[in-house]
Amino acid sequence: MDNAATTALDSTVLESMMPYLTEKFGNPSSIYSYGRESRLAVETARKSVAKILNAHPAEIFFTSGGTEASNTAIFSAVRNLGCEHIISSPIEHHATLHTVEYLYNNGEASLSFVKLLPNGHIDLEHLEKLLAEMDGKTLVTLMHANNEIGNMMDLEVVGELCKLYGAIFHSDTVQTVGHFPFDLRNTPVHFITGAGHKFHGPKGVGILYINENVRIKPFIHGGSQERNMRAGTENVYGIVGFAKALEIATLQYEQESAQIHTLKVYMMEQLKKQIKGVHFNGDPIGRSLYTVLNVSFPKTEKSEMLLFNLDINGICVSGGSACTSGADQGSHVIRAVNNNPNQVAVRFSYSKYNTKPEIDQVIVKLKEVM
């Protein structure tokens, strides 16, 4: 139950990748037939991804994953698009947070964090105030959905606000691409990101969407791949797998999202009924991912060993304790939204492969361990 960390590869996705791991091994840049076959696979994948996200194929760049995509967007906004200020939030993934902190520490941009509301959503009034105060070009980088607490931000609303103030808008959409429909042609955003392994695709492949009105400079030098922007021989089987996984996720969206949402709600109910003192972090029944549930348990000697004991029982979940002592700094997200030293936070995150009996099994083990 740690599917926000990564998901199992779908067997149909693996099947689609296999030819490019075996007989179809041509380099897409080679001009003979084997190369052209691989080139066709990459470009077909790009078209498919673009169509699903309602973008233009020229706006889709394949990367090594979400981290590279966000690094590229943020660095480009500052170094190529002239952004002197960055507005972000304290609960971004480190792929964003460490990048904006690097640019700030390096003297390349000023950095402001937007305030959070008690339920972990960003304070839109404060965002507007920050935007109004900035003179000079600003980059707003705020994630679409938080990977630890599941809170979702309204891309449209934030995008319109950025437009109003002439800001560049990047959103880390790693937890939502492959989980929600996108209509990028009608969404006011300059950069979004995706990672194949979050929706039953392969690891080590992702996308960066760059709106066609934005012109950035090449981010890796040394070849003409990805329209001269990202040099290096393409991860052909990864790219094919990414497109296949997105295609499957899109076809199955209605049914799967409902099924996973039911599991989340069921687990919330069972936890409330069966375990004393549970607290849910974020806004789990409001604007939230159907895949993520972050729960705080009362801190006891036993609950401090919760993850370890669940692991012994074959249950994989991730932590996020508000503990600030010793080497364990806990989660920066939990610290920002619920800094209660008397609680231990655990993230449960679901996929289409989880079942209700598994939830029951986890509840039984949790009761035992607590």
Ligand X SMILES: Cc1ncc(COP(=O)(O)O)c(C=O)c1O
Smallest gap from residue 70 Cβ to ligand X (A)? 6
Q: Could you tell me how far CA 165 lies from the centroid of its own chain?
A: 26
x/- map, 201-220, ligand X, by CB under 6 A: -----x--------------
Smallest gap from residue 65 Cβ to ligand X (A)? 3
Site for ligand X in 61-80 (CB under 6 A): 65-67
Q: Does 147 bind ligand X (CB under 6 A)?
A: yes
Q: Does 195 bind ligand X (CB under 6 A)?
A: yes
Stretch that binds ligand X, among 41-49, 169-177, 240-248, 306-314 (CB under 6 A): 169-177
Instruction: Please select the residue that binds ligand X; options are 83, 95, 139, 152, rule is CB under 6 A.
Output: 95
For residue 53, the one-letter residue type is L
- The upper half-sphere exposure of residue 322, i.e. CA atoms within 13 Å in the direction of its Cβ, equals 19
Stretch that binds ligand X, among 99-107, 172-180, 259-267, 270-278 (CB under 6 A): 172-180
Cα diameter, the chain? 67
Q: Could you tell me how far CA 96 lies from the centroid of its own chain?
A: 11
Q: Round to whole Å and give the CA distance between 255 and 272.
A: 26
Smallest gap from residue 57 Cβ to ligand X (A)? 21
What are the start-end ranges of the H helices in the chain? 11-21, 33-53, 66-79, 94-105, 124-133, 155-164, 236-251, 253-274, 306-312, 332-337, 356-369
Q: Beta 292-298 vs 343-349: how paired, if at all?
A: antiparallel
For residue 285, the one-letter residue type is I
Instruction: Please select the residue that binds ligand X; options are 73, 109, 114, 143, rule is CB under 6 A.
Output: 143
Smallest gap from residue 131 Cβ to ligand X (A)? 23
67 or 281, CB closer to ligand X? Answer: 67
CA nearest neighbour of 206 among 9, 74, 64: 64
Q: Does 175 bind ligand X (CB under 6 A)?
A: yes
Instruction: Please select the residue that binds ligand X; options are 10, 172, 256, 283, rule is CB under 6 A.
Output: 172
205 or 216, CB closer to ligand X? Answer: 205
In the three-class reduction of DSSP (H, G, I as helix; E, B as strand; rest coil), residue 168 is classed as strand
x/- map, 26-65, ligand X, by CB under 6 A: ---------------------------------------x
In this structure, the number of other CB atoms found within 10 A of the CB of residue 352 comes to 21
Q: Does 334 bind ligand X (CB under 6 A)?
A: no
Residue pair 87/229 in contact (Cβ under 8 Å)? The answer is no
The CA–CA distances, whole Å, from 114 to 15, 117, 220, 221 equal: 44, 10, 31, 35
Q: Does 7 bind ligand X (CB under 6 A)?
A: no
Q: Does 141 bind ligand X (CB under 6 A)?
A: no
Q: Does 184 bind ligand X (CB under 6 A)?
A: no
- What residues have CB less than 8 Å from 311, skipping those under 6 apart? none
86 or 195, CB closer to ligand X? Answer: 195
Residue pair 141/172 in contact (Cβ under 8 Å)? The answer is yes
Q: Round to whole Å and give the CA distance between 141 and 95.
A: 11
Catalytic residues: 323
Instruction: Please select the residue that binds ligand X; options are 74, 109, 174, 293, rule is CB under 6 A.
Output: 174
# chain residues binding ligand X, by CB under 6 A: 12
Stretch that binds ligand X, among 37-45, 124-132, 167-175, 266-274 (CB under 6 A): 167-175
76 or 147, CB closer to ligand X? Answer: 147
Smallest gap from residue 110 Cβ to ligand X (A)? 23
Q: Output the CA angle 194-103-151, nearest 5 degrees.
A: 40
Smallest gap from residue 305 Cβ to ligand X (A)? 25
What residues line the site for ligand X (CB under 6 A)? 65-67, 93, 95, 143, 147, 172, 174-175, 195, 206
